[in-house]
Chain A
Amino acid sequence: MSTRSFLVLLCLLLSAAAARANPARDAILAALAAEAKQADPAFAGFSADRGGAFWRADHTGGKFETPSCTTCHTKDPTAWGKTRALKPIAPMAVSLTPDRFTDPEKVDLWFTRNCKSVLGRLCTAVEKGDVITYLSGK
């Protein structure tokens, strides 16, 4: 690899990291971590892998039409999704939509709605934190 392409790659990686580090998102994750710890003292942090598996999984208990996060958001978090009323949804990947998970009210509103649709219940703090962690790395 030439020095130039190395520098270009380094800049890309740094800017991607900068785009993902966000105090508001960190605060949302910290609050979810505190909630998770309270529910289970053995809680040892969020997992992007668990979040990805949850994101892709077909769940039961929710609405027949929406078994998975991917029903509307697609399996690829960097792709545009579509609401059931066919409105485009910007990618959930934080690298592409940097203001994802930075507004606590919006995060709360959409997890509440979508967890009910997909799972027929509210999501736990661990589930929410895992999904945010997964999408923050995408």
Chain B
Amino acid sequence: MVVCAILLAAETAWADGGIAVPGTAQAETEKECGACHAPLLPITHKMIEWRQIMANLSDHMGEDASLPENVRADIEAYLVANASDAVSIRRSE
């Protein structure tokens, strides 16, 4: 309980596998994904689906949507941490 409170209060939360989700990741997601299309909410896909999508950005619905690796990783962490099947620790809003 105490641990949860500390984690939720922290700037970052950890997705499955211990990936840190930076506090800026949501804004990065809205900016980068929203540059081409209305960004989908993380809850619209499962963790594995987000990982597949974010692993294939060079051919994203037929478009090259490649991103610098640091930005790509932040966005994936945010999407996975808030996916429809993400468990336990969620990023506090």
Residues of A at under 8 Å CB distance from B? 63, 65, 83-87, 105, 109, 112-113, 116-117
Contact = CB atoms under 8 A, between A and B. Distances in A.
B17 interface: no
Interface in B55-93: 61-68
Contacts of A86: 37
B69 to A, nearest CB: 12
A117 B38 contact: no
Contact of B36 (A63, A85, A105): A85
B66 A112 contact: yes
B62 A83 contact: no
Main secondary structure of the interface of B (DSSP, over half): loop
B68 A117 contact: no
A103 to B, nearest CB: 12
B68 A109 contact: yes
Interface in B16-70: 34-38, 61-68
A105 B63 contact: no
Interface of B: 34-38, 61-68
A87 B37 contact: yes
A87 B67 contact: no
Query: Which of B61, B62, B67, B68 has the most CB atoms of chain A within a 10 A radius of its CB?
Result: B62
Shortest beta-carbon contacts, A-B, top 9 = A85-B37, A113-B64, A83-B36, A116-B64, A85-B36, A87-B37, A117-B64, A87-B36, A84-B63
A112 B67 CA distance: 10
Contacts of B65: 113
A36 to B, nearest CB: 24
Contacts of A113: 63-66
Contact of B61 (A85, A87, A109): A85
B68 A87 contact: no
Given A105-B68, A109-B68, A117 B36 contact: no
